[in-house]
Structure 1
Amino acid sequence: MAEPKRRTEVDTPARRFVFVLLDQFTMLCFASAVEALRIANRMSGRQLYTWKLIGEGGEVAWCSAGIGFKLDGDLDEIARDDTVLVCGGIDVASATTRRVVSWLRREARKGAAFGGLCTAGYTLAKAGLLDGKRATIHWENQDSFSEEFPDVTLTKSVFVIDGNRITTAGGTASIDLMLKIIADAHGEDLANLVADQLIYTSIRTDQDTQRLSIPTRIGVRHPKLGQVIRMMEQNIEDPISPAQLAREVQMSTRQLERLFRRYLNRSPKRYYMELRLAKARNLLMQTDMSVINVALACGFASPSHFSKCYRAHYDTTPYRERGTHATKARA
């Protein structure tokens, strides 16, 4: 009896990616993903990947740069072997419509792989596709995401693959994700060829974090200063006193004061307040949390104290800030 013919890579069908373009999606995260797939096809000399663009209405999807992309179809049925990548961007909560959420829930039952690029991790989480999973999202959306989706283990990685769920932090993280996918399926050599074509000289893994290190961000390489700022960023809801922060890095409170004055031209207390207010502004803009809950989440004991500090820093009240943002979003 003849042996059955073994399937080779040459006759393996191309893997299809279905890109779901939400309203105001970020062009960079989408283009980075598609270009990596296109170059993989070119460098291998075979059609390893195909792709399709879909979205609500099936006509045109507009990115945040104001450029329209002609879609191949509406939110239609997908195949089990498809990989669906939802592309998000500005005001992802508004772009995550009931129809999109219903479609995601229905199609996910087929067992296909689903991913969210940039802010679209929010869309997947809203549909319940990330419950019990590890995930990531653009750093600007991390605070609001953590508050709204406690059942998702949020990381600061540039991308996360947890089973058949994929998320990226946005921007060029799509390239890192695709290089990982290409390497897993067709080897490191092809992935490196794709990276070279993209002039992408530093390939990141899921162990790399998306934001610059604290010394790079503040422009100061002082180990104790970086350590204190890290503690501040990790303790927004329950602020630590300057005296305790100083003890943690084996300094006196006066030495800590001098350190902040010298390198950041402000007191530790002032710097900490600015971090807390920045998080509060993010939550006001990106969630439906009440002002009092935002205040509590950022370490303020009362709404009145929160409002007073917010107005002193941003020259407007939390209520007006939210109202202005909502008006702009509607426009």
Structure 2
Amino acid sequence: MAYTSAVEPLRAANTLSGRNLYDWWHAAPGGGSVRASNGVTILTEVEVGALTRRADRVFVCAGGNPAGFDDPALSRWLRALSRAGATIGGISGGPYILARAGLLEGRRCTLHWEHVPAFEERYPEIEVVRSLFEIQGNRVTCSGGIAALDLMLNLIEADHGPGLAAGVGDWFLHNQIREGLSPQRMDLRLRLGVRDPRLLRALAAMESNLETPLPREALAAAAAVSVRQLERLFRTLMSTSLHAHYLDLRLDRAHQLRRESALAPAEIAATTGFASADELSRAERRRHRRSAARRGDDTGAA
């Protein structure tokens, strides 16, 4: 999605303007054809390391687990392209590759929210904002997904005016070009189907405090209710307990870090509020048993 959202607006700009405003090429480590995670194959035309093709902007589009990717040759090439005057960008997990190449030092950046926790652990000196995209001079970072469409529409507007950008957005049924500072994630009300403002305040406090979990009293204070009232809100509106929901958030983050980072088990445990890797493992096993038991009940009922 991120790749297509980045390339298709350029094609549309050429078509709608009747001019060849944009040309693009593909490169990848190892060259040849590259198979995307959805099975689509992209044929590369440029060899990593080549500086023979002019490039105004170079975007690194990456998914999967960018934390586990390390290619010194690619890093050298990106630095060389930057020295040659190209604007360097990263899309979705691409900013991870830029950071590894030393191209985000002293810069503010964004990347897909799923990669943010691991990125912040690996590069604490780089300021991360949870926006759709960031344009800072000759560095551009984008959170991915359809946010790449918004980024490209903004770049098309800067290059060729708002009329063409609006035309491209309209062609793709994208009737509102979002600004870079727009939030990445869906509002909690929509994401969790919760409308009660008291419960929403507590939920937001939980999501912001996974490394050092807040006590029930602090969450109740944030919600401006008593602990008993907050527990009742969770039971009534979330069909779970306050403790169980908070624990699930921390376990989900641990699972995400294990998948998206190279952090050691003890580091993952510390980052998600567990005293040790063993404590985290026990909590994960208990959740797995509960899930298995519920699936067994559902199967029996069927």
TM-score surpassing 0.5?
yes
Mapping for residues 101-120 of structure 1, pairs under 5 Å: 101-120=75-94
Residue in structure 1 matching 2:59, options 61, 69, 85: 85
Residues in 2 aligned to 1:141 and 1:174: alpha-carbon distance in whole angstroms:
16
> Alpha-carbon deviation of 1:81?
5.4
- Partner residue, 1:62: 35
Task: Give the counterpart letter for 1:98 in structure 2.
Answer: P
Which whole-Å deviations, capped at 9, do the CAs of 1:202-249 have from their partners, x for residues lacking one?
Answer: 321112111101111101111111111111111111111011111222
- Partner residue, 1:268: 242
Which whole-Å deviations, capped at 9, do the CAs of 1:70-115 have from their partners, x for residues lacking one?
Answer: 1112111166752001111123234442322222233322232001
Count of equivalent residues: 289
Higher relative contact order (Cα pairs below 8 Å, separated by 6+ residues): 2
Residue in structure 2 matching 1:71, options 41, 44, 48: 44
Give the alignment's TM-score, normalised by structure 2: 0.91
Residues in 2 aligned to 1:31 and 1:250: alpha-carbon distance in whole angstroms:
45
- Partner residue, 2:109: 135
Residue in structure 2 matching 1:144, options 100, 118, 135: 118
Task: Give the counterpart letter for 2:57 in structure 1.
Answer: T
Report the secondary structure of 1:86's partner residue: strand
- Partner residue, 1:307: 281
Contact 1:168 1:177 in 2 (8 A): yes
Contact 1:80 1:111 in 2 (8 A): no
Note if 1:232 corresponds to 2:218.
no
Mapping for residues 317-328 of structure 1, pairs under 5 Å: none
> Alpha-carbon deviation of 1:303?
2.8
Residues in 2 aligned to 1:253 and 1:203: alpha-carbon distance in whole angstroms:
42
Note if 1:154 corresponds to 2:154.
no
Residues in 1 aligned to 2:161 and 2:80: alpha-carbon distance in whole angstroms:
33
Contact 1:59 1:73 in 2 (8 A): no
Residue in structure 1 matching 2:216, options 217, 231, 242: 242
- Point out 4+ residue stretches in structure 1 off by more than 4 angstroms: 78-81
Note if 1:46 corresponds to 2:24.
no
Task: Give the counterpart letter for 1:211 in structure 2.
Answer: R
Cα 1:152–1:79 shift into 2, 3 Å = farther
Report the secondary structure of 2:228's partner residue: helix
Which whole-Å deviations, capped at 9, do the CAs of 1:183-211 have from their partners, x for residues lacking one?
Answer: 11211111000111111123211121111
Identity %: 38
Report the secondary structure of 2:26's partner residue: strand
Note if 1:36 corresponds to 2:4.
no
Which whole-Å deviations, capped at 9, do the CAs of 1:261-314 have from their partners, x for residues lacking one?
Answer: 011111111111111111111111121211111111111123332221121123
Report the secondary structure of 1:49's partner residue: coil
Task: Give the counterpart letter for 2:33 in structure 1.
Answer: V
Which whole-Å deviations, capped at 9, do the CAs of 1:134-159 have from their partners, x for residues lacking one?
Answer: 11111111111111111211111111
Report the secondary structure of 1:140's partner residue: coil
Note if 1:97 corresponds to 2:67.
no
> Alpha-carbon deviation of 1:40?
0.8
Residues in 1 aligned to 2:275 and 2:66: alpha-carbon distance in whole angstroms:
30
Cα 1:38–1:231 shift into 2, 3 Å = same
- Partner residue, 2:262: 288
Report the secondary structure of 1:206's partner residue: coil
Give the alignment's TM-score, normalised by structure 1: 0.83
- Partner residue, 2:230: 256
Cα 1:45–1:188 shift into 2, 3 Å = same
Query: Which structure 2 residue ranges, 5 or more long, are not aligned?
Result: 291-302
Residues in 2 aligned to 1:29 and 1:250: alpha-carbon distance in whole angstroms:
40
Residues in 2 aligned to 1:65 and 1:94: alpha-carbon distance in whole angstroms:
20
Task: Give the counterpart letter for 1:247 in structure 2.
Answer: A
Query: Which structure 1 residue ranges, 5 or more long, are not aligned?
Result: 1-27, 317-331
> Alpha-carbon deviation of 1:58?
2.5
Report the secondary structure of 1:116's partner residue: strand
Contact 2:65 2:259 in 1 (8 A): no
Deviating more after overlay: 172-181 vs 52-61:
52-61
